[in-house]
Chains A and B, each alone.
Chain A
């Protein structure tokens, strides 16, 4: 979704020397790109502006639209469940920025140093990423089910830590869902890091080895700095996506039990389509956009400051 951020130079036009073209010629050229622009205006840009405006109304989705100023936001800042959801999004981000990235780096680093079977491992790790959220959710709901899952099976061997309804317990529902989403996602990171590591100059490793660097030191002082642009890019993507999370939460727990896994995405959906509180839902949408804007702004500022990212 956000590849354009890392590559915003990519659309720079390819200029060729030429004489001044006629107006019809110019219009003819623009005609090629018009369908894309019009479609994006209709599907994304105009409704987004509409969404921003609705955040300042009490519209139910039907009937007249009343502007109520910032009342929705005042309500939002006093809404305990919204803050709970926001916190869950933050927890989600913290989780995704640590464990999946660590496992992704580990997998990619080990994979980059082997020759045989690299293709097999790449396919194996990537496979969960192409499987639909509905299927992954179903699969893990069964595996971690308190009656027909691996929990009771392990309990027979005396290992009881999984023998309870993970998705139905307040303390574990959010992390349970995050685990399932991460299980489907980490292989994607392996492939991204692997292709970045493949571009690292082999001589740097040779030099490090001659200096007596251990494998971990090679990773820390050669690999990590070399793949920094990719690493930072994935951090940005994960930060933005963590504010948008919807599928896995909606499918597996629908935010429950008792809002213990509620995130902004599901809370917004509930207001828009179950409670017909479109204005309030729009204000949650604005908060989610702010999150993405802050992440992108941080990225741009760091780059302006001369970080090579």
Chain B
């Protein structure tokens, strides 16, 4: 009796939930089907299935958008930022979680202030500083910025992993004469790899999608990552909807695949850190 009632009463739930799911998914789906339509067809049939599948949009967009270069640029930025910020954040998280640091309350305060500062306040002076030392239009310059922006988040996430690790392992290693660094590389890192992976995914996603700093610090088209070059591409071919849709799909497809494979980690990491997406 009770069970039956529950099944009946959950039907309206499913109806509303499905409407919301369609609201989230249909626009993405339309982007995908439009990426294989000709622009003429999109004009006549903006949301329906294509009458004729135009795969050529993809090689065309790849070619005209210079994707060979922009994908390479983005991969350099993503991988270097992940390695750099996880190294810095891993060490710091270890110190905060496991070593007795005087004044770590001060560091907490520093993070509170440092991460609430609007990027627009420090971006312009940072641009001037980077210009002085020749870091504008270099990948290194942007990687340093990304490491600075994302390492507090990674530190926060990794620290919460490391606090939970069992003390016995660490004690045992210390008795065997391991230094702090050896404890970190031999015990802490292997045990907290899920934390590293989650933080790495979130940082990678943020760098891949990042727009404002990439727009400002990499203005030379040869160095542009995929986000800002796609923006320029959309501007240049603004009437060619099929082509620009294909260009968008190239950028978004690896993200969607990775998200579907590792959604638990993505959701955990993105909701834990409160990074603006």
Instruction: Point out residues on A near B: beta carbons under 8 Å.
Output: 1-8, 10-16, 18, 21, 26, 28-30, 32-33, 35-37, 39-40, 42-48, 50-52, 54, 61, 103, 106-107, 110-111, 113-114, 117, 120-135, 138-140, 142-143, 145, 147-150, 152-153, 183-185, 187-188, 191-192, 195, 237, 240-241, 243-244, 246-247, 250-251, 264-265, 268-269, 272-273, 278, 281-282, 284-286, 288-289, 292-293, 296
Q: Are B277 and A284 in contact (CB under 8 A)?
A: no
Q: Are B211 and A133 in contact (CB under 8 A)?
A: yes
B241 contacts chain A at the CB level, 8 A cutoff:
yes
Q: Are A127 and B101 in contact (CB under 8 A)?
A: no
B76 contacts chain A at the CB level, 8 A cutoff:
no
CA distance A289 to B160 in the complex (A): 29
The minimal Cβ–Cβ distance linking B275 to chain A, given in whole angstroms, is 6
The minimal Cβ–Cβ distance linking A266 to chain B, given in whole angstroms, is 10
Q: How many residues of B contact A (CB 8 A)?
A: 106
CA distance A73 to B30 in the complex (A): 47
Q: Are A2 and B126 in contact (CB under 8 A)?
A: no
B116-168 CB contacts (< 8 Å) to partner A: 116-129, 144-145, 147-149, 151-153, 155-156, 159-160, 163
B256 contacts chain A at the CB level, 8 A cutoff:
yes
Q: Are B92 and A33 in contact (CB under 8 A)?
A: yes
A12-B105, A142-B46 known; A36 vs B251 contact (CB < 8 Å)? no
Q: Are A131 and B24 in contact (CB under 8 A)?
A: no
Q: Are B277 and A29 in contact (CB under 8 A)?
A: no
B208-252 CB contacts (< 8 Å) to partner A: 208-209, 211-212, 215-216, 227-228, 230-231, 234, 241, 244-245, 248, 251-252
CA distance A146 to B17 in the complex (A): 30
Determine the chain A residues whose CB is within 8 A of the CB of B275 once the complex forms: 1
Q: Are B24 and A124 in contact (CB under 8 A)?
A: yes
Q: Which of A2, A114, A134 meets B248, CB within 8 Å?
A: A134
Q: Which of B34, B87, B101, B245 meets A13, CB within 8 Å?
A: B101
Q: Are A39 and B88 in contact (CB under 8 A)?
A: yes
B205 contacts chain A at the CB level, 8 A cutoff:
yes
Q: Are B89 and A285 in contact (CB under 8 A)?
A: no
Q: Are A142 and B42 in contact (CB under 8 A)?
A: yes
Chain A facing B: main interface SS: helix
Q: Are B13 and A135 in contact (CB under 8 A)?
A: no
Q: Which of B14, B98, B116, B241 meets A14, CB within 8 Å?
A: B98
Q: Are A10 and B107 in contact (CB under 8 A)?
A: no
Q: Are A135 and B251 in contact (CB under 8 A)?
A: yes
Determine the chain A residues whose CB is within 8 A of the CB of B231 once the complex forms: 134, 251
Determine the chain A residues whose CB is within 8 A of the CB of B1 once the complex forms: none
Determine the chain B residues whose CB is within 8 A of the CB of A111 once the complex forms: 17
The chain A residue sitting closest to B275, CB to CB, is A1
The minimal Cβ–Cβ distance linking B127 to chain A, given in whole angstroms, is 8
CA distance A288 to B31 in the complex (A): 35
CA distance A73 to B264 in the complex (A): 47
The chain B residue sitting closest to A265, CB to CB, is B120
Q: Are B125 and A47 in contact (CB under 8 A)?
A: yes
B68 contacts chain A at the CB level, 8 A cutoff:
no
B169 contacts chain A at the CB level, 8 A cutoff:
no
B263 contacts chain A at the CB level, 8 A cutoff:
yes
The minimal Cβ–Cβ distance linking B153 to chain A, given in whole angstroms, is 7
Q: Which of B24, B116, B256 meets A296, CB within 8 Å?
A: B116
CA distance A40 to B153 in the complex (A): 12
Determine the chain B residues whose CB is within 8 A of the CB of A16 once the complex forms: 100
Q: Are B107 and A11 in contact (CB under 8 A)?
A: yes
B108 contacts chain A at the CB level, 8 A cutoff:
yes
The minimal Cβ–Cβ distance linking B116 to chain A, given in whole angstroms, is 6
Determine the chain A residues whose CB is within 8 A of the CB of B212 once the complex forms: 246-247
Q: Are B271 and A195 in contact (CB under 8 A)?
A: yes
Q: Which of B46, B112, B271 meets A143, CB within 8 Å?
A: B46
